[in-house]
Amino acid sequence: MTMTPAVRAILANYESDNPGTRANLARMLMQGRLGGTGKMVILPVDQGFEHGPARSFAVNPAGYDPHYHFQLAIDAGLSAYAAPLGMLEAGAATFAGQIPTILKVNSSNSWATGVNQALTGGVDDALRLGCSAIGFTIYPGADDCFDMMEEIKEMSAEAKSVGLATVIWSYPRGGKLSKEGELALDVGAYAAHMAALLGAHIIKVKLPSDHIEQKDAKKAYEGFDSSTQAKRVAHVVQSCFNGRRIVVFSGGATKGADAVYQDARDIRDGGGNGSIIGRNSFQRPRDEALALLDKIVRIYLGQE
């Protein structure tokens, strides 16, 4: 891999990290068709834990096989593949060294009675499976949010000490937040900022709406132009240490391909680092998925 100026500039922002962590960030940033551009597309398959297998895979039954997803991410030329413990264990040897992996170390499920997740993997697991990073979800706003933050504080410190990177999924939820508020611009920017403050190397948030949820924040957004999604993305990027941290956006529920493409263009134009695309890829037939991912990659390459 010949390091590019774009990636070099990103890595320089991780100035407190050891070379091991930087190497793992570099691996993801230099992987696949976006390698060297500073952009990333990540395939996450934690849907089975969250929604159950049928809701996740029945529409494209090949997805019941963990190998399918490794191969999809590799064939699409993506940057990394993220999944819970069992999913990685089922393919990590076969695909060792072919694509960077992210071990999702906490997971929720549809029957959970609280707004929280269970720890379902560890840093040791990530090392033995050859992962480049751990992934962790926090629910800012939830009653258990402090507990989740304390869990990632411990795990992130451990990951950093052994040269792994940390990806935080920051999803506002629970507590006093309204349903509309979960996607509000101010809330999304705040959630991304909290992940950055917690020491995340890569921050994953949802694309925000132009709603402002918090009364106290309204004044700060007066005069702020949030009319386009690209501008809202730019504000989230700004909230992640003015771009000193990698931010990727999730696509949400399965939707039309055109909407997915527009999201990618907006992320690109707003200065975001890329997309995490799960259901919108593995819930399509493989050919369609590859076509969709090809187009997204070309968008980030500035070719679309």
Name the residues annotated as catalytic.
Answer: 171, 204
CB 135 within 8 A of CB 82: yes
Q: Which is nearer to a copy of itself, 103 or 264 (CB)?
A: 103
Candidate residues 9, 161, 225, 255; the one interacting with a copy of itself per rule CB under 8 A: 161
Q: Which residue's structure tokens are 């963990």?
A: 66
- Say how many residues touch a copy of itself, by CB under 8 A: 113
Binding to a copy of itself by residue 179, rule CB under 8 A? Answer: no
30 in contact with a copy of itself (CB under 8 A): yes
The distance of closest approach from Cβ of residue 161 to a copy of itself in the complex, given in angstroms and rounded to an integer, is 7
User: How far is the C-alpha of 265 from the C-alpha of 242, rounded, in Å?
Assistant: 20
State how far the Cα of 64 lies from the Cα of 17, in Å rounded to an integer: 37
| Contacting a copy of itself within 208-227 (CB under 8 A) | 214, 216-217, 219-221, 224
| Residue among 79, 124, 112 nearest 98 (CA) | 79
Name the nearest CA neighbour of 266 among 232, 293, 291, 292. 232
Q: How far is CA 132 from CA 6, 126, 266, 291, in A?
A: 20, 8, 27, 27
By C-beta, is 254 or 262 nearer to a copy of itself?
254
Applying CB under 8 A, the span of 159-167, 246-254, 256-264, 294-302 interacting with a copy of itself comes to 159-167
- Min separation Cβ 261 and a copy of itself, Å: 25
Q: Which is nearer to a copy of itself, 232 or 268 (CB)?
A: 232
Toward a copy of itself, which CB reaches closer, 162 or 301?
162
Residue 141, Ramachandran bin (φ over 0: left; ψ between -120 and 50: alpha; else beta) = left
Residues 68-107 that bind a copy of itself (CB under 8 A): 74, 84-99, 107
What single-letter amino acid sits at 269? D
DSSP of 203-264, one letter per residue? EEEEPP-S----GGGTGGGTT----SHHHHHHHHHHHTGGGTSEEEEE--S---HHHHHHHH
C-beta of 194 vs 260, nearer to a copy of itself: 194
- Which residues ranging from 256 to 275 are in contact with a copy of itself (CB under 8 A)? none
Query: Binding to a copy of itself by residue 112, rule CB under 8 A?
Result: yes
Shortest Å, Cβ 259 to a copy of itself: 20
Site for a copy of itself in 231-250 (CB under 8 A): 235, 238-239, 241-242, 244-245
Q: What does the per-residue mask of binding to a copy of itself show for 46-65, with x meaning CB under 8 A?
A: --xx-xxxxx--xx-x--xx
- The distance of closest approach from Cβ of residue 32 to a copy of itself in the complex, given in angstroms and rounded to an integer, is 9
